């Protein structure tokens, strides 16, 4: 669509102003100078925006067409001028799905393309649960004077949709895992083969574990511990309650989606080490017979993986507008039933945006039941208005309370890559340990 810009009206106004000043002040130079803006108006009238609907080809490539909800998708847009004439002023905006947010780079650009030249731009999207379709690319060319504007839309070649679900029917299967014991060993000395440490002798210690060499040398009775070969199960707990379904803005993923994303990353990477892993989702009803919580107990088999993905998908699906809002709290009986099915020594990784007291309460319950807990919490607070600032402050207080309980916490800013946040958390933990 062609449009004649009104920007050069200003030049006509300037011309009148100078002419009037010249006449009033009786200065012929100003009256002659009044013709200068008119020269520019003529320049505007004589130049025209190029039509590019047929000469511009655009190709879109995406790193993943089926990312996990809350995951990132790299998009690359390649624009090529197939015409014989250069396009000096080309502006374009990729048709990013309205509900997805750009977390890095920009889908907008102003380009100057010679004939046959191609240019690529890249940006990164944060996926949300569901299927999202790219709109056509909006393209605008201008004449050299910017007085003539041509705007159109061009369909980009390449994938048109991004589908972010974890339904096993849609998602590619990860590694199935095997039945051999895993590599996540529990830090507990006892019987075993690998040396773990030396401690003071206790009367109940078996005689064959007494450190006789030391006794012969120093006369002190000590006992040798060997690393317990018991494998630690891992249970990833996702907060999918209604209170976690909050996002920084309408284009950003919710706390639930981000938690599911982290859970999926943990499940995938942990299963590569063949560690038994399970998932529990707070606030998910209807997945099994339990009330207000659904779970798959830690395991390593293919069936478990399929069920894990189904549960992750069910957790992510709680953010759909038509989904029933999850429970605000989880009944104590359901939690006790879960505890009954977990093996002692199971490590709990709790994923929650921590937007209410119940998140802290959940950690307390796991710890009081004897499980070690660590946390990763996506920060979905915006701090853009007083209400949001209050929420953010309450979250900070909750995190401080959890840290006082000794819970290791990774406070993840979703604009930063997850791997980088994990590295930073590890560095700060190491630094803190070094100081102590």
Partner 1 sequence: MSLSLSDTTLGRLLVPLLSDTAYVPTRSAITATVIALGAVLAGSIAIGATGGAAVGIVLGTLLAGAIAAVDHDRLRGPLVGGGVLLATTATVLGLPAYLSSVGEQASAMILLAGVLITYGLASFRIDAVGNGAVSRAIAWVVRVGILLVPVTLVTAIVFLDVQQLIADPRFVGVFGGLLAPRSGSEGVLGLSVLLLLTLVSLWLIAAVVPPEDVFDQPFRDRYHTLVATSVRLATLLFGGGALAVIVAYVLSSELEVASGPIEPLLDAVVTSAVGRGLLLRLLLVAVVVTVLLRLLRAAGPSLVYGRPAWLPSGLLITAILVAVGLAGANPLIEMLAAFDTAPAGRLVDIAALLGAPTVAMGLVVLGVLTVGAALFTLPALAGLGLLPTYTAGPRLVLGGLLLTSIAMAVGDAPAVLVFATVVAAIIVWDVGEYGAELTADIGTTPARRDGELLHAGGSLFVGIAVVTLLVGVQRLLTSVEITDDVVLTVIGVGVITVIVVAVLLRE
* Sites of contact with partner 1 (CB under 8 A): 4, 7-8, 10-12, 14-19, 21-23, 25-45, 88-91, 93, 105-112, 119, 121-123, 140, 144-147
Q: In whole angstroms, how close is the CB of 110 to partner 1 at the nearest point?
A: 5
Q: In whole angstroms, how close is the CB of 280 to partner 1 at the nearest point?
A: 41
Element (H, E) at 164: strand 161-164
Nearer to partner 1, 89 or 128 (CB): 89
What's 328's DSSP letter?
S
Nearer to partner 1, 68 or 101 (CB): 101
Q: In whole angstroms, how close is the CB of 42 to partner 1 at the nearest point?
A: 6
Nearer to partner 1, 91 or 251 (CB): 91
**Rounded to whole angstroms, what are the CA distances from 30 to 20, 36, 222, 372, 397?**
9, 10, 104, 84, 69
| Neighbour-count burial of 203, counting CB atoms closer than 10 A to its CB (0-12 exposed, 13-18 middle, 19+ buried) | exposed
Nearer to partner 1, 383 or 403 (CB): 383
Nearer to partner 1, 44 or 275 (CB): 44
Q: In whole angstroms, how close is the CB of 91 to partner 1 at the nearest point?
A: 5
**Rounded to whole angstroms, what are the CA distances from 317 to 53, 133, 135, 160, 324?**
40, 18, 24, 22, 10
Neighbours of 276 (CB within 10 A): 23
The angle formed by the CA atoms of residues 344, 347 and 353, to the nearest 5 degrees, is: 135
3-state secondary structure of 255: helix
Q: In whole angstroms, how close is the CB of 117 to partner 1 at the nearest point?
A: 11
Nearer to partner 1, 14 or 221 (CB): 14
Separation between Cα atoms, residue 364 and residue 402, nearest integer Å: 9
Q: In whole angstroms, how close is the CB of 413 to partner 1 at the nearest point?
A: 16
Separation between Cα atoms, residue 103 and residue 72, nearest integer Å: 8
């Amino acid at each position: 669509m062609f449009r004649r810009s009104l920007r050069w009206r200003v030049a006509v106004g300037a011309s009148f102003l100078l002419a009037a000043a010249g006449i009033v002040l009786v200065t012929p130079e100003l009256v002659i100078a009044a013709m200068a803006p008119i020269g520019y108006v003529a320049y505007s009238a004589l130049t025209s925006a190029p039509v590019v609907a047929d000469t511009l080809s655009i190709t879109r490539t995406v790193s993943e067409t089926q990312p996990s909800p809350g995951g990132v998708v790299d998009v690359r847009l390649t624009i090529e001028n197939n015409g014989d004439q250069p396009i000096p002023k080309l502006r374009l905006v990729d048709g990013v799905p309205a509900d997805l947010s750009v977390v890095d780079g920009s889908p907008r650009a102003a380009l100057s393309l010679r004939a046959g030249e191609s240019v690529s731009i890249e940006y990164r999207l944060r996926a949300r649960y569901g299927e999202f379709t790219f709109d056509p690319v909006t393209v605008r060319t201008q004449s050299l004077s910017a007085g003539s504007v041509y705007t159109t839309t061009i369909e980009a070649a390449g994938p048109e949709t991004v589908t972010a679900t974890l339904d096993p029917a849609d998602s590619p299967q990860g590694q199935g895992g095997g039945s051999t014991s895993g590599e996540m060993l529990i830090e507990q000395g006892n019987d075993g083969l690998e040396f773990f440490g030396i401690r003071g002798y206790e009367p109940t210690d078996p005689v064959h574990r007494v450190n006789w060499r030391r006794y012969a040398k120093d006369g002190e009775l000590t006992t040798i511990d060997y690393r317990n070969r018991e494998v630690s199960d891992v249970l990833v707990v996702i907060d999918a309650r209604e209170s976690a379904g909050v996002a920084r803005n309408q284009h950003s993923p919710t706390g639930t989606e981000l938690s599911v994303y982290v859970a999926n990353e943990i499940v995938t990477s942990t299963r590569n080490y063949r560690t038994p892993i399970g998932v529990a989702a707070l606030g998910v009803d209807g997945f099994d017979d339990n009330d207000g919580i659904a779970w798959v107990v830690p395991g390593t088999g293919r069936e478990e993986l399929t069920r894990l993905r189904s549960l992750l998908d069910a957790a992510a699906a709680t953010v759909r507008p038509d989904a029933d809002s999850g429970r605000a709290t989880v009944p104590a009986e359901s939690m006790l039933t879960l505890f009954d099915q977990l093996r002692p020594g199971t490590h709990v990784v709790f994923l929650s945006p921590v937007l209410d007291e119940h998140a802290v309460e959940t950690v307390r319950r796991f710890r009081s039941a004897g499980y070690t807990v660590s946390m990763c919490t996506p920060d979905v607070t915006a701090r853009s208005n007083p209400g949001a600032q209050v929420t953010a402050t309450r979250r900070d207080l909750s995190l401080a309370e959890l840290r006082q309980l000794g819970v290791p916490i990774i406070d993840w800013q979703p604009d930063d890559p997850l791997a980088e946040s994990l590295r930073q958390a590890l560095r700060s933990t190491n630094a803190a340990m070094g100081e102590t």
